[in-house]
Amino acid sequence: MPYKNLNDICVQTLSDNKAEDILSLDIKGISSFADNIIIATANSNRHAKSLSEKLIESIKNNKMSVLGVEGKIESGWVLVDCGDVVINIMKNDVRDFYDLEGLWGENTLLNSSN
């Protein structure tokens, strides 16, 4: 089944691979570096690594590109930069500490998944 866009591909792939609390934020009007930010919770460092690998594979299989990947496995945070969409895969404690949802504001919420 083809997906509509990069954001949909990312959200679906994260969901399929057991990411938790997936949020997609529309930041077009307030950011110059991306149109959407996706935030997802991994239950361990290993899970975060696995999620990022599956995500990259899915993006490439859909003939889209990844600009870069940042973060070390031990940090509990992996960032996948796809240009228009930036994906943050974080362990729960790291996500709580940085509170990206609070930083960007509730008016940016596109969708969420538990």
Residue 112 banded pLDDT, cuts 50, 70, 90: low
Q: DSSP for 46-82?
A: HHHHHHHHHHHHHHHHTT----EEE--GGGTEEEEE-
For 13-45, write each residue's pLDDT tens digit: 999 999 999 999 988 888 888 999 999 999 999
Mean pLDDT of 59-63: 95
36 versus 104: the higher-pLDDT residue is 36
CATH of 6-96, picked from 3.30.460.10, 3.30.43.10, 3.40.50.720, 3.30.1490.20, is 3.30.460.10
Task: Delimit the domains of the chain by residue range.
Answer: 6-96
pLDDT at 3: 45
Instruction: State the Cα–Cα distance between residues 88 and 75, nearest whole angstrom.
Output: 12
